[in-house]
Structure 1
Amino acid sequence: MATFDNYTNRSAFYCKFNEEFKYILLPVSYAVVFLVGLGLNSTALYVIIRTKRWNPSTIYMFNLTMCDTLYILTLPFLIYYYADENDWPFSEPLCKIIRFLFYTNLYGSILFLSCISLHRFVGICYPVRSLNWVSARRARLVSVAVWGCVLLCQAPVLYFSRTKDVANERTCYDTTSPELFDDFLVYSSIVSVLLFALPFMVVMVCYGLMVRKLLESGWGSEGGAEGERGRLSAYRSKQKSVKMIIIVLATFMLCFLPFHLTRSLYYSFRYLRQMNPAQVSCSLLEASSVAYKVTRPLASANSCLDPILYFLAGQEVRRGITKKIKSASLKPKSMTLYLTTEL
């Protein structure tokens, strides 16, 4: 049995891949994400912190932005690593932290985007009940629960992430060492279902119900003397909701879905070849590996799209920023910024 295991492991990992492209693709794409994401998230954090009244949406966006910022700060290490063609010059604990923060950001973003979507869904579909269901205090409790869930689920990454010295180079595994890959595959599959597939299904159901509600002819209409004001408020709320739906769905479809699909295919083919090399050819395994590596920068790009959700989904945010810019030109030393960030 030991001989068979050694043979299949060697067969699986002796496929020679041409991965020269990633030494250009990953450093360049990560550098772009670092520069753009750092600027956008720093601006978002600055605006959020100066907000006088923190409603549930503000709380969720603050946590989402913190999640993205922590990840962005790890990118210089990965840029150097891939630019130096997979030669990790740092320690193994730092390798573990970098990989841990990547997945923490990934699934933290998914869960906080889901929280924002659920919050908006309740406000649109159950406007009266939402007055009792939604509060800043509950949003804080939910945020703490999300962080706890993500940190707990990603803690095994600190165990699976390893480095390996080969000749004069040190590899920082994106997955884990070959001998732990079977266990890592089970863990990764469970996490993907719990922290991606289920939240994605919830978001899709919520948006489907929101769209149906928004398309109702009488939605948001009010009679009496306040009728015109009510219709205007409903129109603005509908605009915000439509923008949020488009941005969040774009983030899921462009960043999260391709990454999880290609990663699942690559892991599956790699496992099947390890079990029986005749089932999966090296060319097929290489193709899945290339697809997976191409979509990794897309997963990182969510750090650039998330702040756009914050700035574009609320008209008051844009008005506040415009007011601040105008005030800066007239009274540089006397500025007050009032923002509401309800999505």
Structure 2
Amino acid sequence: YVGICHPLETWPKQGGRRMAWCICGGVWLVVAILCAPTFHFAATGIQRNRTVCYDLSTPDRSVDYYPYGMALTFLGFLLPFLGVMVCYCRMAHILCRPVSYQGVTVAAKEKRDRAVRMIIVVATVFSISFLPFHLTKTIYLVLRSVPGVRCETRNLFSIIFKSTRPFASMNSILDPILFYFTQPHYRQSTRRLITRVTTHQSKGTGV
């Protein structure tokens, strides 16, 4: 983001690495603080003679969990999500600007177009992975804490909420795959490796 949107800034070179480490450490500290109350609400129970692990909290603590759950969604998802999307949109906007100087090569234009495509794909995958999960989780939180909601409705949104959880976990798998397929250097390295392996096997078989 800094290289695309602020290429002439001097602060990344003047203590930028130290600032990056401080920001990363601060983010992890905030995440640890936000997740700490989970250990307080986490519990197991007995249902139909089976031990179950409750997703958020025990049913009798739904009202107590609601403020924490909403704060966790707002601070742990909504704000970071908006920040990431704003950065992606700003990068795409700058890369899509018409170049105002002469001498731009075709290769440079192709790199810009490829970067824009990668931004769009990554932002789309990021949204598909996390939006359904947190949206259904928020609805489920509200239904759990509001009295008078039918059990069928709560159970339905509980199933939907659990069904969207794999999408959130899948993002960690999809990001490296997307990065691999959008970087020609890594694809070429893989082709060379496969060629060497097959050539070595062919020579071994011939001997």
TM-score by length of 2: 0.80
Secondary structure of 2:99's match? coil
* Cα deviation code 1:158-196 (max 9, x no counterpart): 221111235632111111112332222211111111121
Of 133, 140, 149, 1:259 maps to: 133
User: 1:317 is matched with which residue?
Assistant: 186
2:2 matched to 1:127? Answer: no
Contact residue 162 and residue 172 of structure 1 kept, 8 A: yes
Contact residue 63 and residue 144 of structure 2 kept, 8 A: no
User: 1:7 is matched with which residue?
Assistant: none
2:122 matched to 1:248? Answer: yes
Of 35, 53, 67, 1:186 maps to: 67
Q: 1:317 to 1:139 in 2, by over 3 A?
A: farther
User: 1:164 is matched with which residue?
Assistant: 45
Q: CA deviation at 1:140?
A: 4.3
User: C-alpha root-mean-square deviation of aligned residues, in Å?
Assistant: 2.7
User: 2:157 is matched with which residue?
Assistant: 288
Of 192, 197, 204, 2:85 maps to: 204
Larger RCO, structure (CA 8 Å, separation 6 or more): 1
Q: CA deviation at 1:151?
A: 2.4
Secondary structure of 1:301's match? helix
Contact residue 41 and residue 65 of structure 2 kept, 8 A: yes
User: 1:232 is matched with which residue?
Assistant: 107
Measure the CA separation in 2 of the matches of 1:142 and 1:313. Answer: 28
Of 298, 303, 326, 2:167 maps to: 298
User: 2:204 is matched with which residue?
Assistant: none
2:143 matched to 1:269? Answer: yes
**In the comparison of the two structures, how many residue pairs are matched?**
199
* Cα deviation code 1:214-240 (max 9, x no counterpart): 221106x563xxx53xx5235324413
One-letter amino acid of the counterpart of residue 74, structure 2: V
Q: 1:172 to 1:286 in 2, by over 3 A?
A: closer
Identity between Structure 1 and Structure 2 (%): 33
Secondary structure of 1:133's match? coil
Measure the CA separation in 2 of the matches of 1:238 and 1:306. Answer: 19
* Cα deviation code 1:284-339 (max 9, x no counterpart): 3333223222212222222321222331332222223223333334569xxxxxxx
**Structure 2 residues without counterparts, runs of 5 or longer:** 202-207
**Structure 1 residues without counterparts, runs of 5 or longer:** 1-120, 333-343
One-letter amino acid of the counterpart of residue 321, structure 1: T
Contact residue 69 and residue 141 of structure 2 kept, 8 A: no
Task: Please list, as runs of the form range in 1=range in 2, the aligned pairs for 1:1-343 lying within 5 A after superposition.
Answer: 121-129=1-9, 132-133=11-12, 138-166=19-47, 168-218=49-99, 223=103, 227-228=104-105, 231-243=106-118, 245-273=119-147, 277=148, 280-330=149-199
Q: 1:282 to 1:181 in 2, by over 3 A?
A: closer
Q: CA deviation at 1:133?
A: 1.8
